[in-house]
Amino acid sequence: MFRLPGAVAVVTGAGRGIGAASAIALAEAGADVVISARTAEQLAEVAGKIAALGRSAVVVPADLSDVDAVAALAHTAAERFGRLDVVVNNVGGTMPNTFLTTTPGFLEDAFHFNVTTAHALTSAAVPLMLDGGGGSVVNIASVMGRLAGRGFLAYGTAKAALTHYTRLAATDLAPRIRVNAIDVGSVHTSALDVVARDEKIRTSMEQATPLRRLGHPDEVAAAVLFLASRASGYTTGSVLRVDGGIGAPNLDFNLPDL
């Protein structure tokens, strides 16, 4: 039930980290994949790993904050493979910021990069998925969409919007297209390196996590595969936690009271 023979997927932010791991996991299950990110060299490396699995990868270097560029990925899948079955909206994120330095523009940019881009790709994919009988959309969200911590105002607000977008889109697109999300905790990717390289901070984060460690991109990719495949065929509008069990933020920026 976890196999995806002959399926076609689009994965954004696929040059490294969770996106790369997800693209490779889908290929291992039998899918061909359109992968996109800013850096062509990173995408080429991921494409090589997919080719080694006997599947095809189409590399599309692009600025995925451009809604036209991200929407075009759906049409690339249809043109190259004749169908589209799975979309993984992985691209997103924003830098931590204090409340008073979170300008309206900063907040709008965070929403655009995490929610608007996901909608642009998903809405472009829907007609193609319907032509093929249905499909699955997986949105990569964050625990900070449900937890409160200083410094995460823009990021957490955007990810909270993405999780509720998931529920609303699942209602709109049922029964032929399923839409789910993953609440990701602290996963050791290059984006986390700036803090994870500090042994004191990393140890603190690990101790604040019930499983006492950081996550691995492959563990999120396994959840992506579950939500993309028939194994989750009776699941839509759900937010799956892959967070080590945390109930509070495990990264403290030590921002002072105003």
H-helix or E-strand spanning residue 89: strand 86-89
Report yes or no: 164 and 178 within 8 Å, Cβ to Cβ.
no
Q: According to the CATH classification, is domain 8-185+217-241 in 3.90.1150.10?
A: no
pLDDT tens column, 25-84: 999 999 999 999 999 999 999 999 999 999 999 999 999 999 999 999 999 999 999 999
Check residue 143 and give its pLDDT.
97
What gap in Å lies between CA 188 and CA 23, rounded to an integer?
A: 17
Domain spans, the chain: 8-185+217-241
Mean pLDDT of the chain: 96
What gap in Å lies between CA 9 and CA 224, rounded to an integer?
A: 11
List, by residue number, the catalytic residues.
Answer: 155
Check residue 38 and give its pLDDT.
95
Check residue 26 and give its pLDDT.
98
Two tokens, residue 73: 């990925």
Low-confidence ranges of the chain (pLDDT < 50): none
Check residue 198 and give its pLDDT.
84
Report yes or no: 26 and 49 within 8 Å, Cβ to Cβ.
no
User: Whose CA is closest to 215, among 196, 201, 194, 235?
Assistant: 196
Distance of CA 220 to the CA centre of its chain: 9
Cis check: omega of the bond before 175, within 30 degrees of 0: yes
Check residue 188 and give its pLDDT.
87
> In a 10 Å sphere around its CB, with 0-12 CB exposed, 13-18 middle and 19+ buried, how is residue 185 labelled?
buried
What gap in Å lies between CA 140 and CA 135, rounded to an integer?
A: 17
DSSP state, residue 14:
T
- Taking every pair of C-alpha atoms in the chain, what is the biggest distance, in angstroms? 56
Check residue 112 and give its pLDDT.
98
Could you tell me the end-to-end alpha-carbon distance of the chain, in angstroms, rounded to an integer?
A: 53
> In a 10 Å sphere around its CB, with 0-12 CB exposed, 13-18 middle and 19+ buried, how is residue 191 labelled?
middle
